[in-house]
Amino acid sequence: MLDRPAAHGNVLACARHRLAAGEHGSAGNKRSPGALTPYASATVTPEYFSVTFNKVKPLNPDEAAPADALLGRTRLTVPSDSVEVRVEHL
C-alpha cells in the first residue's frame, strides 16, 4: 500500500475538502437543524486501507441522543495488492 500513496491521498483530500466546506456534523456546523450527520473512521494496515462511513440521526430537539441513532454504515476497503475498491453495506 505504501507504493501508491497518491490513490489513498485523493480519498483523504476529498474528505478534507468536505470538512473545510462545512459538510460535517460537529458543533457550529453549517447544516440545517435536523439534517442527517455522517461520521467516518479510517484504518490503515499493511494489508489494506479502509474507511467506514456511519450515517446517524440528528439529536432530538432537547439535545438528547435518539434511540437507535445509527441509520446506516458503509465500508470502503482497498487491499494493499489491488486498486479495486470493495464496498460493503453493513
pLDDT digits (tens, 9 = 90+) for 9-65: 454 444 444 444 444 444 444 455 556 667 889 999 999 999 999 988 888 888 888
User: Is residue 49 packed enough to be buried (19+ CB in 10 Å), middle (13-18) or exposed (0-12)?
Assistant: buried
Residue 51 lies in a domain: yes
pLDDT, residue 70, reads: 85
pLDDT, residue 13, reads: 46
pLDDT, residue 63, reads: 83
Residue 30 lies in a domain: no
Question: Could you give the number of structural domains in the chain?
Answer: 1
What's the DSSP call for residue 79? E
pLDDT, residue 46, reads: 94
Residue 57 lies in a domain: yes
Residue 31 lies in a domain: no
The mean pLDDT value for 76-83 works out to 93
Residue 70 lies in a domain: yes
> Which grid coordinates belong to 55?
450515517
Which residues span the domain enclosing 57? 5-25+36-89
Residue 19 lies in a domain: yes
pLDDT, residue 1, reads: 39
> Which grid coordinates belong to 79?
487491499
pLDDT, residue 89, reads: 93
